[in-house]
Amino acid sequence: MEDEEMERKVQQYLHRKGFRLTELALQEERNRLSTTSLSDVSLSRPDNDPARYYDGYNKLRSWAYNSLDQYKHELLRVLYPAFIHCFMDLVSEGHTLEARAFFLKFREDHELMHSRDLQKLEGTLSPLHLEEMDLARSLRENKFRIKLCEYSYELLLQYLQKTQALVMLGIINERIIFEVSAGQPSLISDDADVVALVGTSKDLAKQINQKEVHWGLLEDSVEERMEKALSDSDRAEAESKDADAEDNNKKKSSEGGKQGGPLNKKLKKDKLVGATGKNTKSETSMISAAPRVKPELTLPATPVEVEQSILEDLRNRAQLNNLALPSVSFYTFLNTHNGLNCSSISNDGSMVVGGFSDSSVKVWDMAKIGQPAKTSNSQGENGSSQDERLSSTSEGKRPYTLFQGHSGPVYSAAFSPFGDFLLSSSSDSTIRLWSTKLNANLVCYKGHNYPVWDVQFSPVGHYFASASHDRTARIWSMDKIQPLRIMAGHLADVDWHVNCNYIATGSSDKTVRLWDVQTGECIRMFIGHRSMVLSLAMSPDGRYMASGDEDGTIMMWDLSTGRCVSPLAGHNSCVWSLAFSCEGALLASGSADCTVKLWDVASSTKALKMDDTKAGSTNRLRLLKALPTKSTPVYNLRFSRRNLLFASGALSL
């Protein structure tokens, strides 16, 4: 403004003094300079013409598809970031119709790899939408990282310089970071891993993942004491059998003379192997090899009867591996008419709970299913209809126990480790604690400001964690109505580490975070999913974590290093539940594609450890078996302490 005012003052002075020729010369010079600047602007951005985005992207797309086959798949990686930012630039400049036409014209190119993102961006119609949408803000604030070989990168630069594609050049300079590697182009099969959105979150993840994680099991836990007791008893039993066998052998040798000697030695060796085989197997398991850590929380004392039940379960536990798969018990809710939002199964499989849209929580006792009292209800496991429920006042006529107290749909329910308590969370922003023995509501926990999506008990009970739409995860104690810790940043699934010192949360930002219970700090950020993270599970030894997302991808993470050790591709829809077997040999996944899949963890993790020194290892967990349910989506999975697999789902006929 100061320059313009000065020019105006000069022009007024020349006019007042009568310097006409000088005034005309100054006017011509000003016009010439303005014309030059306008031509420069028109060269870079011709009058805000929306067609420049269409022409620039279309030419880049044609060039990439017509490139040599050896480099084509690498050059095609540039198209998705260019497509996304051309579309968002058109929207931000107010060209809504042109942005819509551009999006519909070229979206098919990226439907296979980025369908979820495209569905979210499809409804973007104004600059205000770009500001309000989390995905659009993330795309604007961060950059894409693309891996190219050196020759592909040179080809791209030559094209941009030769064609003077200024719009595409600006987008590529602003929005993409290239990682150029010497040598041959990468494989086509690696395309899903070489285009990633990075920026401040990536830098933050590197900084966070340098912190130390003590991933081992709790020292002096019930399971550890029981394992020691079992191994000691097995050893004592083996020694007693050996002593008896030796006495018998001595008698037989005295009777049979020298001929029985070699045979008796062989029998003694066989008995030793048979007696100690179980002990050897437990010593080489994943759990026995895990280090022991001290608890950061004050843990509750375990009742004697509970320890006895755990001991009984450990004695009768089935040893699972890739040759011995678990028995599966599947519970199906019929005719729920989309009213069932969640389900969960107790640790021993004796109870099943469902959370419903009518704000009710229903618990079924499996021991009572099929008893004569059930004949009054023709609908079986699914419970009575609403009219029947209101009209039947007799508790004996219901095949379930009804808990009412929430004022909104129930989104999560979880049993305590010993089945005596039940937690439920709802859209009314509250968490309720129920007693399964008294059939009553004990506490209503208030603290979240928005719907609570998930709630989970700790492995030892007493403590529980919740995740809410207010983008916080909170740790609670049963005896306090206020949360002990608040972890800000995530809102979807939550799961406890086996040593109770950490909790993990997954979110719609496609990341998984691990939080320290004592400090409330994020100590790991796992980046790699391409859609919302819906399910989490910790391995029994505490070293690995599995996460499932909306696209059906499962990733196995190493907590100590913070890296993905094995992505699993097998489901074609949302992975709603994950569960490790008790000794960690198998991973079960349940999905909306109506299947339960069993994955071989033990042999795969051994191969991963052997290949730790090799860069770029491409090991994958082996799929052992797929169990289809015909047309029932799988909501929940649970391994009992005896290694029986329980699953639940809903079917609307």
Length of the chain in terms of residues written = 653
Report the pLDDT value the prediction gives residue 425, as an integer from 0 to 100. Answer: 95
Residue 12 in this model has a pLDDT that exceeds 60: yes
Highest mean pLDDT among 43-52, 202-211, 540-549: 540-549
pLDDT tens digits, residue range 477-512?
Answer: 999 999 998 888 665 677 787 778 899 998 887 888
CA distance 515 to 496: 10
Q: Using the structure block, give the residue that is written with the tokens 């994020």.
A: 522
The dihedrals phi and psi of 182, each to the nearest 5 degrees, come to -75, 155
Mean pLDDT of 289-298: 78
Residues 6+ apart with CB under 8 A from 358: 339, 386, 409
Report the pLDDT value the prediction gives residue 44, as an integer from 0 to 100. Answer: 44
> Could you tell me the CATH number of the domain that includes residue 139?
1.25.40.500
pLDDT-derived band at 235 (thresholds 50, 70, 90) equals: low
Residue 562 inside a domain? The answer is yes
Residue 426 inside a domain? The answer is yes
CA distance 256 to 499: 57
Residue 253 inside a domain? The answer is no
Residue 574 inside a domain? The answer is yes
Report the pLDDT value the prediction gives residue 607, as an integer from 0 to 100. Answer: 55
Mean pLDDT of 435-458: 92
**What's the burial of 12, exposed, middle or buried (CB within 10 Å: 0-12/13-18/19+)?**
exposed
pLDDT-derived band at 244 (thresholds 50, 70, 90) equals: low
Mean pLDDT of 372-400: 45
Residue 280 in this model has a pLDDT that exceeds 60: no
Residue 2 inside a domain? The answer is no
pLDDT-derived band at 416 (thresholds 50, 70, 90) equals: very high
Residue 195 inside a domain? The answer is no
Residue 599 in this model has a pLDDT that exceeds 70: yes
Domain boundary among 157, 185, 213: 185
Residue 453 in this model has a pLDDT that exceeds 80: yes
Task: Return the exposure string of 616-634: e unless at least 16 CB atoms fall within 10 Å of the residue's CB, then b.
Answer: eeebbbeebeebebeebbb
Residue 180 in this model has a pLDDT that exceeds 50: yes
Residue 29 in this model has a pLDDT that exceeds 60: yes
Residue 594 inside a domain? The answer is yes
Report the number of distinct structural domains present in the chain: 2
CA distance 422 to 352: 11
Quickly count: other Cβ atoms within 10 Å of residue 491's Cβ: 23
pLDDT tens digits, residue range 75-96?
Answer: 888 999 899 899 999 998 888 8
Residue 198 in this model has a pLDDT that exceeds 60: no
> Could you tell me the CATH number of the domain that includes residue 576?
2.130.10.10
The dihedrals phi and psi of 532, each to the nearest 5 degrees, come to -60, 135
CA distance 442 to 439: 9
Residue 251 inside a domain? The answer is no
Domain boundary among 149, 167, 185: 185
Report the pLDDT value the prediction gives residue 578, as an integer from 0 to 100. Answer: 94
For residue 445, the number of C-alpha atoms closer than 13 Å in the C-beta half-sphere is 27
> How confident is the prediction for the chain on average, in pLDDT?
78
pLDDT-derived band at 224 (thresholds 50, 70, 90) equals: low
Domain boundary among 170, 185, 200: 185
pLDDT tens digits, residue range 514-566?
Answer: 998 888 888 888 888 878 889 999 988 888 999 998 888 898 898 888 888 88
Domain that holds residue 86: 50-185
For the record, the structure tokens of 54 come out as 């269409």
